Amino acid sequence: MRILTGIQPSGKLHWGNYFGAMKSMFDLQEKGENFMFIANFHAMTTVRDGAVLREATKDVALDYLACGLDPAKTVIYRQSDVPEVQELAWYLSCLTPMGLLERCHSYKDKMAHGFEATHGLFAYPVLMAADILIMQADLVPVGKDQKQHLEVTRDLCIKFNNQYGDILKLPDAYIPDTVATIPGTDGQKMSKSYHNTIELFEPNGSIKKKVMGIVTDSKTMEEPKEPEGNSIYELYKLFATPEEVAAMAASFRAGNYGYGHAKKALLEAYHRLFDPFRARREELAKDTATLEDILREGARKARAFAAPTMERVRSAVGL
């Protein structure tokens, strides 16, 4: 089974990235051939500064390696180091109905939040399809917000194969049932677009300030509170043990347990999990040559997988 996932270097990775995509990818490292790419082409829809994009790409690699990605088990590479992806994206574009892209909710959501309407942003699902299909992936871990894009990939795969023969493999989505939408500091979905994230490795003081500033209702400490749907509780469930989660829920329902108590418990749970990752990242950041070697070797392996597919695709389309 071949498993592929990707992440945009369009800003610092945050808690939503870790629990929404990264952790499930780490859990799958023992279950098949794993590929993980840093989607720097995709990031260009919003990042227009070359130096910023280059640094963000390095940061994503460091974050993943620090948090549990093993280069011996997962091929990690920069999207831009596999030019076959862009070539396949063009072939798919020539078969993509405009109406299919016009129905994609992610583009509409970006427009609603003030993003510039560009072709790159509009055609994002086609490039995503090329990322997946070039590697003949069987399984693609995605968040619920990306499920529609995976459905577009499947549609384009079927359309291409109907036109040119059975060349591309039809992928399936993997959406962990245990991970719901990760709430941000304002209660909305945690997203860089909404400026409500808590970064994985920002300074400890900044993390504490954001956690203690999570928006809550106006109930007093003495009042009983329903934990389900409470942002603090929902975040705590991601970090804590089942026993700890049950204890917090009971405390909320009993009363005399304030949001400040819950925020402190959340902060402690974060540090318990991430302090070892932070130490590992600091060590990795000191050796940039090794990091570059890992990414270049990943690109070499990825291109070796992509080449046979592209030979068949070029022949089929007449090139």
- Among positive and negative, which fits the CA dihedral 120, 47, 69, 200? negative
What tokens appear for 270 in the block?
């974060």
Cβ(81)–Cβ(302) below 8 Å: yes
Range of the domain at 233: 201-282
pLDDT tens-digit profile, the chain (319 residues): 999 999 999 889 999 989 988 888 898 898 889 999 999 999 999 899 999 999 999 999 999 999 999 999 999 999 999 999 999 999 999 999 999 988 887 777 777 767 788 888 889 999 999 999 999 999 998 766 677 778 999 999 999 999 999 999 999 988 766 556 899 999 999 988 789 999 999 999 999 999 999 999 999 999 999 999 999 999 999 999 999 999 999 999 999 999 999 999 999 999 999 999 999 999 999 999 999 999 999 999 999 999 999 999 999 999 9
Question: Does 48 share its domain with 161?
Answer: yes
CB 61 within 8 A of CB 291: yes
Q: pLDDT tens digits, residue range 165-221?
A: 999 999 998 876 655 689 999 999 998 878 999 999 999 999 999 999 999 999 999
The residue from 110, 210, 225, 237 that is catalytic is 110
Tell me whether strands 33-38 and 172-174 are parallel, antiparallel or unpaired: unpaired
Q: Angle at which helices 288-317 and 84-93 pack, to 10 degrees? A: 40
pLDDT of residue 46: 87
Give the model confidence (pLDDT) of 28-44 as tens digits. 898 889 999 999 999 99
Yes or no: say if 64 and 37 are a contact pair by the CB < 8 Å rule.
no
Q: Does 170 fall in a domain?
A: yes
Residue 127 amino acid letter? L
The C-alpha atoms of residue 212 and residue 261 are separated, in whole angstroms, by: 10
Residues 298 and 271 reside in one and the same domain: no
What Å distances lie between residue 172 and 25, 132, 153, CA to CA? 15, 10, 10
Whether residue 172 sits in one domain with residue 70: yes
What is the rounded CA–CA span in Å between residue 291 and residue 89? 28
Q: Which residues are within 8 A (CB) of 277 and not within 5 positions of it... i.e. 6 or more apart?
A: 66, 67, 68, 200, 201
For residue 189, is it within any domain? no
Known catalytic residue at 189: yes
Residue 237 falls inside a structural domain: yes
| Under 8 Å between Cβ of 56 and 11 | yes
Q: Which string of b and e fits 132-165 if b means at least 16 CB within 10 Å?
A: bbbbbbbbbbbbeebeebbebbbbbbebbeeebe
Enter the tokens of residue 99: 């109406």
**Is residue 191, in this structure, part of any structural domain at all?**
no
Query: Does the annotation mark 159 as catalytic?
Result: no
Q: Is 190 among the domain residues? A: no
Strand pairing class (33-38; 2-7): parallel
Please report, for the domain that includes residue 23, its CATH number: 3.40.50.620
Q: 156 and 230 share a domain?
A: no
Do residues 76 and 16 share a domain?
A: yes
Residues 229 and 133 in one domain: no
> Any idea which residue has 């070029």 for tokens?
314
Q: What is the pLDDT of residue 293?
A: 97
CATH of the domain at 257: 1.10.240.10
Q: Are residues 108 and 242 in the same domain?
A: no
Together in a domain, 144 and 229: no
117 and 215 assigned to the same domain:
no
**Residue 293 belongs to a domain:** yes
Structure confidence at residue 292 (pLDDT): 96
Is 192 contained in some domain?
Answer: no
Q: Is 285 exposed, middle or buried (0-12, 13-18, 19+ CB in 10 A)?
A: middle
Catalytically annotated residue among 23, 192, 225, 237: 192
Based on the fold, state whether residues 37 and 56 are members of the same structural domain.
Answer: yes
Provide the domain count of the chain.
Answer: 2
Residue 110 lies in a domain: yes
Note whether 254 and 306 are same-domain residues: no
The reply to whether 155 and 69 lie within a common domain is yes
Per the annotation, the verdict on 192 as an active-site residue is yes
> What contacts 291, CB < 8 A, 6 or more positions away?
58, 61, 62, 65, 284
